[in-house]
Amino acid sequence: MSSTTHLRPLELLTARASASRLDGATWASLSLLLFASAYFITSLADVNLDAMTDIGLASVLPPRMLAAYALLPPAFCLALRSGRTWLVLAAVVITVMLLFGVAVLVEPTVRFSVSWRHAGIAQVIQSTGAVDPRIDAYFNWPGFFVLTAFLADVSGYANPIEIARWTPLVLELLYLPALLTIGKALTDDSRMLWGGVWLFYVSNWIGQDYFSPQGLAFLLYLCTLAVLLRWFQYDSRRSSRIPETLATLQSRLLSMASRLVGSKADLAPSAPPTSAGQRITLVLVVVLLFVAVVGTHQLTPIALLLSVTSLVLVRRCALRGLPALLAILLGTWLVYMSVAYLSGHASDVTGKIGAVNQNVGSNVSGRVKGSDGHLAVVYLRVAVTLVFWTLAMMGGLRRFRLGFVDRALVALAMAPFPLLLLQSYGGEVLLRVALFAMPFMALLAAALFFPTLAKGRSRGTLVIFGLVATFLLAGFVVTRYGNERMDYLSPREVAGVEALYRIAPPGSVLVAASNAVPWRYTGYANYKYKRLTGINRVKYQVVVVPADESTSIDIGTASSRLIVQQVAARMVAPNRSQRSYLIISRSQKADLDMFGPWRRNSLQHVEDVLRRSDRFQIVFDNGDATIFRLADPTSQPQ
């Protein structure tokens, strides 16, 4: 018997629900959502950001806000039980707003120092109207920066940082229609669909939705897959025009699958009928989306290519030539538009291809370090991700045992993993793989509780789902905002950086202890930027200053003179006309306390030493940010 005969469309459920009066579950869910919203809003003013510890925002959330979060899982479960689409949608939207809006609402400035740097790149384009790929790698993939420069300019802002603050919340809400479309294309069961979408949000701690190319590229990734899954299902009645080798590979894969599972059917709700004109429009939209994603981000097009190829291989996408077209577009961009970057970094890009152990190792071991509080956050992130993936695997197995082979769903959940073979992506490839797989893992995880319309209808199932969801949501609050002590940039720090740009003439050398500083949002290419700490740890007691700027200076010495000498040496300006400034700020201290490479409170020690030194002059100090000027920026260390 075909699996689809077990299923009734979503509309049947919702029609039945809307025909009846509001029942107890509906009222209870509505009440909980209202209470959660009220608790959340009234507790915003009680968040004391200055008291944050190394476990991040969770350490300063008031009890009423935690209560608001605790009400969300039962509210969602009751909404699901009521069967009313509008209520489930409201529960999801309120969950998104409370989870992703909290930092936006309690922090008066744009969080995350990288957002400020991205705004600076967009500001270069906004002010010059040009893309200079020689400035740095970002300008080789300028799509996001051109878009934000355009949006800031037409909105009347002189700098794109002004539109950056609400980005995480806006992006997460923009993901929702695509997630729903993907879910609806992969299951007829509304509980699996909504449960999957809700699990996606409460598990999405990865935090790539800030003002960044990857946040936008993920939206384009979801939209592309939504279009393909919704409208371009494979039609076996059409004659095959694909190359023979691909056809052979397809049929071998599928025959292997059918041998494994016998005659069990794949679940694929039928695509709505479309005219030839509509299909042409939709193909053009897919091509447009891919061109946009190729010009926006380095990694996402490769993930998308893998996902589309996997859909073609499992016969879930009728556009069988699409992977070839996408590969050509990607190759063309790499060859013609990013040549300035690739010509100098070919070994960085290709050097770790196939070194999966090294790539994964650098992603794991590189992150399991730091203060005790931060380590607790890291371990929780690992645990939550493993639990989430385990739920997904169990969900897939349960569906399989019940006679469903979700080829497309499993293929899309697994498609991003070959990215681990390519490179470590600065120690982030595992995070990105987890993100690209997350929408599909979430649907599989929901399938564990709601495997068919007939099963998982008991109150007990909803209670278990609610408990698991509560665990994931509780984890979210810690894992998502676990770096917030560093990611939060106080208004006084921002004022300090504004003062830095007022004081330092263009061409000056600007130095910070770490990257956690809200700078480069202006004057991106007009200053020489340096850091006291780099990606390379200090391996020796320094007497001479490391020439390599990616190496941290060594402050493990009792000698104040040596510390002054090293800081001054890092600040040396190439010529006499240049000045040199060092800014030390609150979030840099948090960064170094949490992640190293120095011992806790070391930056405060450096600051105290510099305050006493006659080689440095304090030109600005507001408590959260101090700016030092090097008295003679061209003199070499003594």
Partner 1 sequence: MTRRLSRDAAWPLALAAWGVLAIVLVFAQSGVWTTALVTIGFVLIAPGAALLGLSGIRDGAAMLATSIGASVGLALLIPSLLVYAHAWSPKGALLILVGLTETACALWLVRSRGWRRGA
Buried b (16+ CB within 10 A) or exposed e, 317-337: bbbbebbeebeebbeebbeeb
**Window 293 to 312, contacts with partner 1 (CB under 8 A):** 295-296
Q: Which two tokens stand for residue 372?
A: 């005790």
The span from the first CA to the last CA of the chain, in angstroms, equals: 85
Segment lying near partner 1 (by CB under 8 A), choices 35-43, 69-77, 98-106, 223-231? 223-231
Euclidean distance between CA atoms 179 and 203, whole angstroms: 14
Q: Is 23 in the site for partner 1 (CB under 8 A)?
A: no
Pairing of strands 509-512, 580-585: parallel
Q: Which residues pair with 621 in a beta bridge?
A: 626
Q: Is 272 in the site for partner 1 (CB under 8 A)?
A: yes
Q: Which two tokens stand for residue 420?
A: 């681990």
* Smallest separation (angstroms) from partner 1 to the CB of 209: 14
**Window 520 to 579, contacts with partner 1 (CB under 8 A):** none
Q: Is 455 in the site for partner 1 (CB under 8 A)?
A: no
Pick from 448, 416, 412: nearest CA to 432: 416
Indicate the residue among 297 and 367 with the shorter CB distance to partner 1: 297
Give 528's Cβ-side CA count (13 Å radius).
Answer: 15
Euclidean distance between CA atoms 495 and 420, whole angstroms: 41
The burial of 264, by beta-carbon neighbours within 10 Å (0-12 exposed, 13-18 middle, 19 or more buried), is given as middle
Indicate the residue among 289 and 625 with the shorter CB distance to partner 1: 289
Instruction: Say which residues have a Cβ less than 8 Å from residue 453's Cβ, sequence separation at least 6.
Output: 6, 7, 8, 188, 189
The pattern of x and - marking residues 153 through 192 that bind partner 1 according to CB under 8 A reads xxxxx----xx----------x--xx-xx--xx-------
Q: Is 213 in the site for partner 1 (CB under 8 A)?
A: no
User: Which residue has tokens 């300028």?
Assistant: 142
Segment lying near partner 1 (by CB under 8 A), choices 68-76, 215-223, 375-383, 404-412? 215-223
* Smallest separation (angstroms) from partner 1 to the CB of 277: 6
Segment lying near partner 1 (by CB under 8 A), choices 199-207, 286-294, 364-372, 469-477? 286-294
Q: Is 274 in the site for partner 1 (CB under 8 A)?
A: yes
Indicate the residue among 39 and 210 with the shorter CB distance to partner 1: 210
The binder of partner 1 chosen from 119, 164, 206, 219 (CB under 8 A): 219
Q: Which two tokens stand for residue 402?
A: 């019940």
Number of residues that bind partner 1 (CB under 8 A): 52
User: 240: how many CB neighbours lie within 10 A of its CB?
Assistant: 12
* Smallest separation (angstroms) from partner 1 to the CB of 146: 5
* Smallest separation (angstroms) from partner 1 to the CB of 85: 10
Q: Is 333 in the site for partner 1 (CB under 8 A)?
A: no
* Smallest separation (angstroms) from partner 1 to the CB of 523: 19
Q: Is 231 in the site for partner 1 (CB under 8 A)?
A: yes
Q: Is 480 in the site for partner 1 (CB under 8 A)?
A: no
Euclidean distance between CA atoms 89 and 194, whole angstroms: 8
The pattern of x and - marking residues 117 through 136 that bind partner 1 according to CB under 8 A reads --------xx-xxxx-----
Q: Is 278 in the site for partner 1 (CB under 8 A)?
A: yes
Q: Which two tokens stand for residue 291?
A: 């061109």
Euclidean distance between CA atoms 278 and 461, whole angstroms: 42
Is 442 within 8 Å of 449 (Cβ atoms)?
A: no
Q: Which two tokens stand for residue 367?
A: 């992150």
Residue numbers at the binding site for partner 1 (CB under 8 A)? 125-126, 128-131, 142-144, 146-147, 149-151, 153-157, 162-163, 174, 177-178, 180-181, 184-185, 216, 219-220, 222-224, 226-227, 230-231, 272, 274-275, 277-278, 281-282, 285, 288-289, 291-292, 295-296
